[in-house]
Structure 1
Amino acid sequence: MIPNTFSLAFEALDDELKGPAEMVFSESDEDRLVAVVSLQHLCDEDSVPFLIHALSDTSDDVVFTAVTSLWEIASQEAVIPLIDCLRDSKAERIRQEALNALKELVNQDHLMKLLDYLDESDIKLQASILVLLRKIHDVQALPSVAIFLESDHEVLRKESVMTLRYLNQLTHFPPALKLASDSSVNVRKETMLTLAHLDQPDVIDILESSLLNDDSWEVRRNAAQALERKSNPSTSTSLAVAIQDKHWQVRKFALRALQPHVLDEFSPTIISLLCDEYSDVRKEAALALGGIDSEQAKAALSQSLNDTDIEVRIASEKSLARLQA
């Protein structure tokens, strides 16, 4: 039985859509699931009102399939109903599917509505809205996003500091700096990458300190990646220390950041890394030596032409060619 509120939309349907559309209102969970699966296969925009209705179904399978169907149809009518699927009351798989759909569907026109949702007290909803704001890039969202930098909830601090680096024209924002010493590793990791997009003077010092002192190798690695983006010659001394880090990924990315600013005095340490256990580190060391015009560097690179890893051999050839040019 079709509810009166859907009668006009139902009458406008093609005959092949009417059967599954009517089944959306069945009392049987199985029938409703068959209905939304059928509508998914037909992928017709006229079925959108019925799929939106299915988002409030009591069956998670029905809701999940309805979300997927609306994603495939890509109707703007579905944006607000899909946002309601991001709430904590929904199953995790439904929230994730809805978030993935909304990443493709939201646009600038939805900015103010998204900001309204941030006022609600649903943590999972707020976290997802912060993710969606990255799609829009509008710096108008900054005041609403900034509030969450001081949240008691780790996930909200993490998502908000991530969102900052997606906002257009944001180059200075002091409140973000203190998250470099946040109690959460995950927050500090994302803060490193966000600081790479900020131009204020304290950023370089903070990144260097995190690179050398943070307890988490992931934070140290991200700090090295941020310093590579910054490409500031003043960081070379810190990077030269970090290429000796106990974790190979830190050594790798510190070497990459150091390459444009490598100095002759770093040669012994870099040469030693041609024997590193990890081929990624050996490759970056070989590339870094391409900036040191010395007989020791050339000799070390000549030896690494016999490395067991082809990428290390290619990097060594490239650096030797650079030095002999």
Structure 2
Amino acid sequence: ELWKRSGHYEAYLENMFFSNVDEREFSLKPMNCPAACLIYATHAHSYRELPVRLADFGRLHRYERSGVVQGLTRVRTFAQDDAHIYCTPGQIGSEVASLFDFIFRVYDTFGFERPVIYFSTKPEKAIGEDSLWQNAEAQLEKCLKDRGVDYTLNPSEGAFYGPKIDFVVHDAIGREWQLGTIQLDFNLPNRFDLTYVAEDGTEQRPVMIHRAILGSIERFFGVMLEHFAGDLPLWLAPEQARVLPVSDKFLDAARAVKARLTEVGLRAEVDERSEKLGAKIRDGELAKIPILLVVGAREAESKAASVRVRHRGNLGTKTLDELVATMTTTVRKRALNPWPEA
């Protein structure tokens, strides 16, 4: 009944998984929006409370044809960094502008250049009256024009409940991936009879904004890993530094370097194998560790390490204080360059 009320049963049926239990028909959740509407409807709202923003990373299930399922980028079950914003008509512009800032900031952090933006309008299979669609499309297009961004019109490709703005990024080899989305919805608030008390005391319908920044978390992981070709920036790398003692007699000194790094929250390991230094360096490079720290007699004596940065080679000897300062600053700023001073 929930999916019939929301319109998914009418307009999204072929993408849903169903099961019959005790002569009742159930569906696995394909989208989070109906649940967000139920949460909003649990109590009355005043215009003073709006906008109400509800985030939901719940697992979703959508039927994808076997021919298009691929790795992490196209899957049948996934989590989405979903949120639904309930606001007054007068708040649409500021909320969408804030979402643009959010999306651009996140994509810049991961090294994706300005995304390609598509504006998608009413699809053939849609719910709601034409007047609601016309209003929603006009409002969303105004947001795009007010922002001053270039965009491409994508006719008849909106969500079944409202028009949308999609953000498409290019990975390191130029392939396009649709990630973020902002969708304007006047239909679901009507279907779920959502209201708020306006300043004049009358009950009004809120506007619903659906948004995702990364989109499918699984897809984003796949796109991000291919974009970096596995060379994750320092702040994101599971192992940020590997300490390489020149021989076993410098193990204690290497462990001391690791201890200093880990005590300030950095992720470091020691290669304690009885291998030649060249083999340890090669293995660290193959594992795509951003920073390799070599500890020999001179470094052990001066409480320092020789720094090797991936793709850039030896940067010379740095004291532990210099190591900590540079690495923690790089992580804090989420810089893409693992050793910005070089």
Q: Same fold (TM over 0.5)?
A: no
Q: TM-score, normalised by structure 2?
A: 0.21
| TM-score normalised by L of structure 1 | 0.22
Task: Answer 1 or 2: which has greater helix percent.
Answer: 1
The structure in which a higher percent of residues are strand is 2
Instruction: Using CA pairs under 8 Å that are at least 6 residues apart, name the structure with larger relative contact order, 1 or 2.
Output: 2
